[in-house]
Structure 1
Amino acid sequence: MRYSLLSALAASAFVAAAEEPSYDYIVVGSGPGGGPLACDLARAGYSTLLIEAGGDEGENPTYADLANFNEAANDEATRWDFWVKHSDDPERELKFGHTTWDTGDGTFYVGTEPPEGAKHLGIQYPRAAVLGGCAMHNGAVCTLPQDEDWNIIVNKTGDKSWEADKMRRYFQKIEKNDYLPSGNAEHGYTGWLSTSTGDNSWAKNDSLPATRILKKIAELTGQDPAKATDLLNNDMLGAYENRDEMTSFFNMVSHGDKNGKRSSPNNYVRATLADPKKYPLTLQLHTLVTRVLFDTAGAVPKAIGVEVMEGASMYKADPKHVDGTKGPIKQILAKREVIVSGGAFNSPQILKLSGIGPAAELTKFNITVVKDLPGVGERLADNYEGSLLALGQVPIESGLITLLFRTPSAPTAKRNIFTWCAAFSFEGFWPGFPAYYGPNQYTCAMVHMSPKSQAGSVRLVSADPQDVPDINFRFYRDNGDDDLKELTEAANLLRQAWQAAGDPALPFEELHPCPAGTECTDAHQMEHFKLQAYSHHASSTCAIGADGDVMAVLDSKFRVRGVQGLRVVDASAFPVVPGAFPVLPTMIISTKAAEEIIADAKGAAAAL
C-alpha cells in the first residue's frame, strides 16, 4: 500500500512541464462518492490520485466494527465538527435542546442554559475526515431511493440512463450480498460492498413486549399481525412491485459483512492499492484541497489540477486544529479531469474558493470569478429526523423493528416515514451523544422522506480555505406545516402501538415528544418536531439540473456547467434527498460517474 507525498510543482501551474508529476485524474475526497470512483478509474488503467484530508483508520476496531458506530462518530481522530443552524431565527436556534457551547476550558456545554461566558457554537453536524469518509462512522444503513428520486433527473435533463430500472444495475455491480442465497437476480454477489442483515428470531417469542408492539404496528398499518414475524424478514433492497407504495416491515440491511465488520470505500481503496502494478492509484492522506486550478486562456475555462495544503488537521472543523497552523502549499496537475467529492458541505466550498459559484458572493471575498453559477451552495436539503423516547417499567427485550409506511396526510401514495424501534436512544448529534437513560429505554426513531423544503445554504465566511462555511438548513421554511403534520401522524401511530406492550412493561414514561405533565396534542408535537428535529443526510448543494435552470450546477454526467474538465460526484449532486439514507445511493452514482468518465475518455481517444 502506498501513501505518497507529492513534490511541489513549479510556481506556474498552468503549463505542465514534462518533468512535473501529474495524473490522468485527480479525485478530491475518499468518501462514498470519491473513493469508489477513484478505484474504478484506476482499475480501468488511468493514473489516478485520490486526495483525502484525513488519515486511514481502516484497521481501527472503532471504525472496522459496526457495533462501535457511536464511538466512531464521536472520535476526535476523524471528526470534523460543523456547527450548523436550522433557521434564520436566533431565538429559535437557542431552543434546540442539544445546542452546543464552548465553555472556554476545553469542554462543551450542551443545552439551553449555558454557563456565563460560554461561546455559542450551534448544532453539531459531525462529518468524517478519514479514508472512506462518512461511510466509516455512520450507522451503515443501506436503502435505495424511491424510483422518483432517480426519475426526477430524467425529467430535468432528458437523460434516460438515470431511469430507476437502469440505476439498479449499478447497485448490483457493487453489491456483495451476504444475506441471501446466490443467484437472486435482484442482487449482486461479486462487488466490493458487502451487505448483511440482522437476526430477527427474537420476534418469534410472543411473550415479549416488543413482539406485541410489532403485531400492533402491523394491525395499525394494514399488515397481517399473524404474519408480522415473517414480514420482519422482508428484503429492504428487494425489487418489489410498487415498492415505493409498499407499507411493510423489513430486515434492516447494513453495509457490513455477516461478522459485523464494516464494508466501505476504505476496503475498496485498500484492495486497489494492494496491486500497484495493475492499478495505477495513488493515495495522498492528510491533505486539504484549497482550490481547483484552471487554464483560462481558451474560450471555456478548463480545470487542470488542484492546489493543496499538506498536513494533518489543517481544516478548522477538525477539533485537533491549532489556530494559526498552516501546511505547505503545493500544486498537482491533472491531464484529463478533476473530480470533486468533498460532500454536501465541502464540495460547494471548494468550488467557490476556485471561482465557481454566485458571482456576488465570490466578489465579496475578492475571489476571481471563473464561472458565475448561482446554484453552488444553495438548495441544501436533508431528511427531517425525530424520535419517540420512553422508559418502560422493565427492560424491553427486542431486536429492531424496521418499518416503512405512509401517514394519512402524505401528498402521494408513496410511503414517507422510515422508522426503527428498539431498546436504544437516539436524539441527534452533540459532543458525546447519545444519552443513556438506563436499561428500560425504548425508542422509535423516524426519518421523514421527501421533505418539501430545501431552502438551506452553504456559504463562505472568507476566502480562507481553512475556514468552515456558514451552513443553514432553514428547516420547514417551505410547506413546513405539511411535513410537521406527517411526522406527528407517525408519532401518534407508534405511540398507540406501544400501548400493546402489556405487563410488565407498561406504563411507558414518555420523555419526548410528550413528556409527563404535557397535553399530547398534535400542536404540541408539531412544535416539538419544529424545534428539535435533527438531520445527518445533507444533499443537493451542487445539484444536477436542466439546461434552462439557472440554479443547476451539474449536467446529467456530473460535469460542472460552464467549464471543462471538472465534475462533482457525491451527495451534493442529487436534486433531492435520495430516499431515507443517502450512503448507498451515493456509492451507486459513484459507479455511474466512473462509467461516464471512462466512456468520455475512450470516446476522446477514438476521435484522435
Structure 2
Amino acid sequence: MNREALSGNGHSPEDSEFDYIIVGAGSAGCVLANRLSADGKNSVLLLEAGPKDTNLWIHVPLGYGKLFKAKKVNWMYQTEPEPGLDGRTIFQPRGKVLGGSSSINGLLYVRGQHEDYDRWRQLGNSGWGYDDVLPYFKKAEDQQRGADDFHGVGGPLPVSDLGHPDPLSAAFIAAAAESGLPLNPDFNGTSQEGAGFFQTTTRHGRRASTAVSYLRPAKARKNLHVETAALAQRILFDGRRAVAVEYGKAGALRTARAGKEILVSGGAYNSPQLLQLSGVGPAELLRKHGIDVVLDAPGVGHDLQDHMQVRVVMRCTKRITLNDVLNHPVRRILAGARYAAFRKGPLTIAAGTSGAFFKTDPRLATPDIQIHFLPFSTDKMGEKLHSFSGFSASVCQLRPESRGSLCIRSAEPTAPPEIRINYLATEVDRTANVEGLKILRRILRAPALSSFVTEEVDPGKKVSTDEELLNFCRQRGSTVYHPTSTCKMGGDPFAVVDQRLRVRGIESLRVVDASVMPDLVSGNTNAAVIMIAEKASDMILQDAR
C-alpha cells in the first residue's frame, strides 16, 4: 500500500487509515465531511477528483454560464444518442470541483412536493416521509425570511430571496395569475402550486455552495483531511466488506483504508460508475470488462431519471433583458463594476428568477410541470446570448416515467460512462410536455406581458398543433441537470441501498447522494441532496455507537 500522500491536517505520511472515507466532495460529500468530523472523534478523509473551488466564476451567481464548458471543474458528460430526441446526444454538465454540482448549478432552492417524500416512504423506505425529512431541511437552512413551520435559521446553508428583481420576472408572475394560477410566495411551504419568485442558495450576492457553507467552516479541523485532484479508481473489499479506496493523485496510485465506513458521494453518474469499477453491479456487465464480481447487483446504474426542459423564447419590446446588458460593452462593464463594489445587479441572477408549478390535467393531485423564467435568451445554455432583446421560459415535466441506465464502457476509471436517459419514452411524458408548452404559451400571451412582447421567436407561429409541439420537444428538448436514482433506495430487486443508505449485500459501504432517490423529486434536486446527506450523517453516527 502506498502510504505517501496522506499527510496534512494531523495525519502523518504513515497514517493511511481513517474512520470514514468520503468519495466525492460535492453537494452531499461536503455535508458529510462537516457533520462526521464535528465532534473531533472521527478521522475523515474527503476525496475529490477535481480542484479547489478557486475559479472566480464559481462564486458569482451568474457565473454558472461560464462553467458549462469549463473542463477543469466540469465532468462534461454526454448521453448516448437519445431515440426520443431525434437521436441527439444531450450534454450533461456535472461538477468536478469542491462543492461538486453545487458549485456550478443554477442556485435554485426548491425542495419538491411533500407527496414526493411520502411516496418514498410508501415504497418501503421508512423514515423518509415528508414529516421525517422536514427537520433535516430545516437543520440545513439559514432562511433569510426567518424561521417558521417549514423553515429554519442558523443552519450552514443560506437561502435568500431574489437579489435583483426585474420587471419581466414580476410580469411573468402577474401573467400566470391572469391565466388562473394562484400566487405562491413560498414554493417550499404549505403547497408548491402557483407562481412566484424562486429562492436561491446565495448570501450577500455570492454563491453558497456546500464547499462554502459546509466544508469551509470545517477545513481547519485536525481530524478532517481533504484531497483534491484525487480520482477514486476502485473500492477494495475483504470478502464483502468494504475496507479501502484506491485512488490516483499526481501520477501515483494510493490506497486509504477505512476503519468504519466508506461513503460514496459521487452523484448519479460517478457513484454507480465507481461501484461497477469495484465489482458491485450487474455481473454480466462487469465480466464483459474483465472485472471480478464482488456482488451481482443489477440495480447499480439502473433506473436513471432526469428532468427534461423545453424552452420558449420571446422577443422583448424594451432593452431591459440580460441580452441587452451583456451584449453592450459599456453596460456589461457597469454591471461588472456594480457587482464588484456592491454584490448587486444582474450578475446575481440565478438560473430562474420567477417561475410556476401547475397541473396539465385537473385530475392530477399535484403539479406535474415546473416553469423556469429567465430575463435572457440563448439557443443553448452556456452559449452566447441572442443579439436581440429576449427572454425565455422553459417547461419541465416533474415526474417523468422514462427510465434510463448508466454503464461503464471499460475497466478504465478515466473513461466516461455510457449514459442513456431515454427522454420522452412514454406517452405520459410526451403528453405532459406538449400540454405544458400549451399552458406556458398561454401565460406568455397574457395581458401582463403583452407590453413586453413583440413575438414568439422559438418555436414561433409555425408550430401550433400537438404533433408540431411534440416534434419541437424532440428537436429542442434538453436536460435541466437533475439525474437521480441510479443506486436507488428500496426493497425491490433493483434497489441498491436500504433505508439507511447501506449498500445491500455489502458491509461498511453506503451511498449518499442523488443516486439513492427512489424516484425524482418534483423540482430542482440540490436541496433534497443536502437534506439526504444531513439525514445520512445522523444515521451513520447512530449506527457507529
Structure-2 separation of matches of 1:328 and 1:283: 17
Alignment partner for residue 283 of structure 2, among 355, 359, 366? 359
| Structure 1 counterpart of 2:346 | none
Structure 2 spans left out of the alignment, 5+ residues:
8-12, 323-348
Code of the residue aligned with 2:52 in structure 1: it is D
| Structure 1 counterpart of 2:327 | none
Structure-2 separation of matches of 1:519 and 1:65: 37
Describe the SS at the equivalent of 1:483.
helix
CA change 1:473–1:158 in 2 (3 A) is closer
Task: Decide whether the 8 Å contact of 1:250 with 1:402 is kept in 2.
Answer: yes
Q: Which structure 2 residues correspond to residues 106-117 of structure 1 after superposition, within 5 A?
A: none
Q: 1:152: Cα distance to partner?
A: 2.6
Structure-1 separation of matches of 2:451 and 2:438: 22
| Structure 2 counterpart of 1:335 | 259
| Aligned: 1:462 with 2:406 | no
| Aligned: 1:193 with 2:157 | yes
| Structure 1 counterpart of 2:43 | 47
| Aligned: 1:168 with 2:134 | yes
| Structure 1 counterpart of 2:176 | 217
Structure-2 separation of matches of 1:210 and 1:565: 48
Cα deviation, 1:352-383, whole Å, max 9, x if unaligned, reads 11110001111111111100000100110001
Alignment partner for residue 376 of structure 1, among 289, 300, 305? 300
| Structure 2 counterpart of 1:318 | none
Structure-1 separation of matches of 2:264 and 2:380: 28
Kindly name which structure, 1 or 2, has the bigger radius of gyration based on alpha carbons.
1
Q: TM-score, normalised by structure 2?
A: 0.87
CA change 1:329–1:74 in 2 (3 A) is same
| Structure 2 counterpart of 1:561 | 504
Structure-2 separation of matches of 1:24 and 1:34: 15
Describe the SS at the equivalent of 1:386.
strand
CA change 1:49–1:194 in 2 (3 A) is same
Cα deviation, 1:419-452, whole Å, max 9, x if unaligned, reads 13242125555xxx23411341121122210111
Code of the residue aligned with 1:286 in structure 2: it is A
Structure-2 separation of matches of 1:576 and 1:475: 15
Structure-2 separation of matches of 1:131 and 1:211: 34
CA change 1:291–1:554 in 2 (3 A) is same
Task: Decide whether the 8 Å contact of 1:86 with 1:475 is kept in 2.
Answer: no
Task: Decide whether the 8 Å contact of 1:425 with 1:434 is kept in 2.
Answer: no
Q: 371-380 vs 262-271, which deviates more?
A: 262-271
Q: Which structure 2 residues correspond to residues 49-448 of structure 1 after superposition, within 5 A?
A: 49-58=45-54, 60-85=55-80, 87-88=82-83, 92-93=86-87, 96=88, 122-159=89-126, 161-178=127-144, 180=145, 182-199=146-163, 202=166, 213-223=172-182, 231=183, 234-238=185-189, 240=190, 243-244=191-192, 247-276=193-222, 280-296=223-239, 301-311=240-250, 327-395=251-319, 402-409=354-361, 412-425=364-377, 428-429=380-381, 433-448=382-397
Task: Decide whether the 8 Å contact of 1:55 with 1:129 is kept in 2.
Answer: yes
| Structure 1 counterpart of 2:331 | none
Q: TM-score, normalised by structure 1?
A: 0.78
Task: Decide whether the 8 Å contact of 1:355 with 1:370 is kept in 2.
Answer: yes
Describe the SS at the equivalent of 2:18.
strand
CA change 1:201–1:377 in 2 (3 A) is closer
Cα deviation, 1:207-256, whole Å, max 9, x if unaligned, reads xx765554332121243xxxxxxx46x02322x1xx15xx3122211111
Describe the SS at the equivalent of 1:216.
helix
Task: Decide whether the 8 Å contact of 1:359 with 1:372 is kept in 2.
Answer: yes
Task: Decide whether the 8 Å contact of 2:321 with 2:390 is kept in 1.
Answer: no
| Structure 1 counterpart of 2:441 | 495
RMSD: 2.4
Q: 1:86: Cα distance to partner?
A: 5.2
Equivalences, count? 506
Task: Decide whether the 8 Å contact of 2:173 with 2:196 is kept in 1.
Answer: no
Structure 1 spans left out of the alignment, 5+ residues:
8-17, 97-121, 204-208, 224-230, 312-326, 603-608
